Structure formats: structure tokens, C-alpha cells
Amino acid sequence: MASTLTMTDKELPDKITSAVALADSDSPQAAIDALLTLERTSRLAEAAPETAAICTELVQLAYARQGWVSLGEMVVLLSKRRSQLKAAVSRSVQEAMRMLKEEKPDEDTQVQLLKTLCDVTSGKIYVEVERASLTRSLATIYESRGDISTAADLMQELQVETFSAMDRRDKYDFILEQVRLCLDKADNVRAGIMAKKILPRQISREGLEDIKLRYYALMVRIHAANGDMLEICRAYIARYETTTVTGDAAEPWARELRLAVAFVVLSPYGPMQKDLLHRLSGDKALVKLPEYKALLKLFTTSELIRQPVLMSRFGEELGNLIAGALKDDAAAVELDWQEPLKQRVTEHNLRVCALYYTRIPLARLATLLDTTERDAEAKVSAMVSDQKSLQAKMDRPEGIVAFRLPPAPEETLNTWAGNVTKLLTLVETTRNLIHKETMVHKPGKAVAAAAVMNSAPADAAGGGGETPAAA
């Protein structure tokens, strides 16, 4: 085997040149037969570079002889030969792809050859990158024909996240293309599943800014189809953080920030929405967008918002902004923003009323909310029972809404127990302070008493001496 390999290494270039010369002398079949013989010799000798070089020549000769059909047949033939080397199959496929890219045959021929090459690379790990490229090219052709369903199905066949030889950027790009085609196919569920293959922290690395922007643009389409305002807001915040803030309000950062503000206002109230609302309110770039800063201030201040005033001031601006964004980012998905905005204003006003009132007539509450009594009653019920964002109790016969509920028996008992504990703690502290004062003043009293006791005998002796003298 070693001698055969050595001989192959020395003589193979000359033999390849001689075989190719046969093709130049109008004997292409003879040249192919000679090269196939050389391929067999080098393959059995396990000479990978030489076998790959011969396969490259065979692919070129097959195309020169009978065109694209012969080229595809030659690639299939070489891939199915017994004990074929991986390098030979890989080089054959790469050469066919190169010729396909340079020569650019008609569309039907491209489809036929791409299908052939996909069959050759199917199930072979060492040509998985080539298979991904071929599949994407084939899907692009089907998409240009308007067959989105077939293009999406082709792309879904590959799980590129498991391709170890594929570059990270190429993986993300391929997955995003899969997600886009699923959305174009109106398969939003599958698109959401595929989008989870990419973690946000993975595309936050330097150099992947374009991938990150594409990813969140697709996430906007997914969440817009589901009507999830909060997730749309988070997507636009991520896009805003990816862009560079400049002094020009016409730059991309301003568009993303405007949309983030608009959708955080439209999002249902909750801990995350409240956090995003205050985060955006504190963004220094909002100084360049005074209208949107004023809009956020309305929802972060504990004051009532008048809906007619809000719509007259911000309605047209929000309508144009959201409509343009959905047309560009969400493929013209229809999203009703006026009704959610009305609901958010009503909820905000209810929370403000709960802050300043303990009891309020339902008629007065409806007036403050700019709505009817029936709608006010329904909104209070929804916020108390469904959203759990408000504590209130309604007396329907009397038409009274109480925002300060009487404490539950368990709460009263817990408060009493806590007060008893606090009382005992105060008694113990007082006892300790009294004992401390007693110990501080007790030594002084003992010294004074001893001095009085010592002075009493001296006084008695002095008095006895004076009596005789006086007498």
C-alpha cells in the first residue's frame, strides 16, 4: 500500500494532465474513463488530496461534455463509489456549487441541480455547511416564484444549531431566515419556537449588531400577531439600545425610542410595565423628544388624564407612528391601538382615584373616568377580580365604591399579636432602664448613710464634755 501511495504521489499530476489532454483532443469520454481509473487507484490508496483533485477535474469535464445534467450525474456517481473519501465528496460538491454560481444557468436547471446536490449532501456531517447553503439557495428560488410554503418547509428541514462546522454568524442568519419564512407563511407558532433557538445574550456580542436588529424586528412581527404590547415594547427597547444616540431626531435611535414609549403606554399594567415606564422616563435622550417625554409624564404622575385631551394632543402622532412601524416591521399586521390606549387611561385614572378616595359614588367615579356608570362598574370589577391590580369593594344598591376595605379577621388578629409583642418589648426595655438608674444611684446613697453613721458617736462625745463645764 505504501509503495502504491508513493507512486501515486509522484506520477499522478502527469497522469491527470495526460487525461485532460484527451478531452482537448475531442475525446472527452476517454478522458473521463482515464480519470475514473486514476480516481479508483488514489481512492484505494486513501490519498485524499489526490482523489479530491481528480474528482474536481471529473466534475469540470462532465460539465464540458454534456452540460449541467452530466455534471449532476458525475457528482452522484463519485459520491456513491465504494469507500469514497470525505474530501473527494466535499470537493466535488464545492466545485459544482462554484460552477453553478459563476455560470448561472436558467432557473429550472438550477432547481434540478440544487436538488441533486442536496440529495448528495443529505446525512453527511462533513458537508453540512454546503447543504445549508444549497438549501437556502433552493428556498430563495421557490420564494421568488411565490411558493412561500415550499421554501419554508425546505428551510425547516435543517437544524443548523447542531452544525459544529458552521460559523456562529451564519447559524444566526440561517435561523432568522427560517423564522422570517414561517412568518411569511403565517405559521406564527412555529416561528416563535424557532426564534427561541437564539438567546438574546448570544446576539448581544460585539459585531452582531445587524443580527440583533433583525432578530428583534422579527420578534416584533411575532408579538404583533399575538397582540402582546409589552413584548413589542421590550423588542423596541432592545433595538434602541443597539443603535447610537446622536443629536439628530431623524436617526434610527429616535424611531426605536418613540415606538418603545408608545408601546409601553399601551401595555397592560404590571410590575414589568411599571419598571419599563420609569426606565424610559429617566432616559436622557427623551430631552430630544419632548412630546414623548410629556406622554410618559402623564402616566407616571398621580393625576387624572382626560381622554379627549390626550387624543387631541397625541392621537395623530401615535397613529402615524404605529401604522408606519407595523407596515415596516410587522408586514402590515393590523393592530388596534386606540382601544388599548383608552383602557390604559381608564386604569390609570382608577388607580389615581383609589389613591385619593376611600369611598366615592359610582356616578362621580364615572364622571372622573370620562365614561358611563356601566363601563366604570365593569372596569372596577375587572381590575379587582381579573387583573388583581386594584383593591375595592362595590355596594351596587347604594352605588358606592370603597377603595379602603375593612381588614380581614386574620389580619386584625396578626396586628393585635404584633402590638402585644411590641408592648411587652417596651415593658422589658422600661424595666431595664429603671434597673440601670437604680444601680447608678445606689452607691451614692450608701456612702451618705455611712457618713451619717460615723458622725453620730463624735457628736455624742463632744456633748458629754461640755456638760460639766457648763455646770
Distance CA 95, CA 408 (A): 80
Distance CA 308, CA 315 (A): 10
The count of other CB atoms within 10 Å of the CB of residue 147 is: 14
Measured CA distances, 85 to 16, 42, 50 (Å): 18, 10, 11
pLDDT value for 7:
41
pLDDT value for 415:
86
CATH class of domain segment(s) 1-121: mainly alpha
pLDDT value for 14:
66
Sheet holding 359-361, edge to edge: 359-361, 400-402, 393-395
pLDDT of the chain, 471 residues: tens digit per residue: 333 444 445 566 666 666 666 656 566 677 788 888 888 888 888 888 888 888 988 888 888 877 888 889 999 999 998 888 899 999 999 999 999 988 888 899 999 999 999 999 998 899 999 999 999 999 999 999 999 999 999 999 999 988 888 999 999 999 999 999 999 998 989 999 999 999 999 998 888 999 999 999 999 999 988 889 999 999 999 999 998 766 666 688 889 999 999 999 999 998 999 999 999 999 888 999 999 999 999 999 999 999 889 999 998 989 888 888 877 766 656 778 889 999 999 999 999 999 899 899 999 999 999 888 999 999 888 888 887 788 888 888 888 998 876 677 888 888 888 889 999 999 999 999 998 888 887 766 655 556 655 665 555 455 544 444 443
pLDDT value for 470:
40
Q: Strands, E, within 292-380: which ranges?
A: 359-361
Q: Which residues pair with 400 in a beta bridge?
A: 361, 395
pLDDT value for 439:
84
Q: Cell 486514476 sits at which residue?
A: 38
> What predicted TM-score, i.e. pTM, was given to this entire model?
0.78
Domain positions in the chain are: 1-121, 357-417
Residue-by-residue DSSP string for 375-402: HHHHHHHIIIIIS-----EEETTTTEEE
The count of other CB atoms within 10 Å of the CB of residue 231 is: 18
pLDDT value for 331:
61
pLDDT value for 451:
62
Burial 269-302 (b: 16+ CB within 10 A, else e): beeebeebbeebbebebbebbeebbebbebbeee
pLDDT value for 240:
92
CB 393 within 8 A of CB 377: no
Distance CA 152, CA 191 (A): 10
CB 247 within 8 A of CB 323: no
Find all residues with CB under 8 Å of 217, minimum gap 6, and list them.
235, 239, 329
pLDDT value for 91:
92
Measured CA distances, 452 to 156, 407, 447, 461 (Å): 108, 64, 9, 15
CATH among 3.90.180.10, 2.40.40.20, 3.80.10.10, 1.10.10.10 for 357-417: 1.10.10.10
Candidates 233, 171, 162, 163; CA nearest to 198 is 171
pLDDT value for 467:
42
Distance CA 87, CA 51 (A): 8
pLDDT value for 243:
86
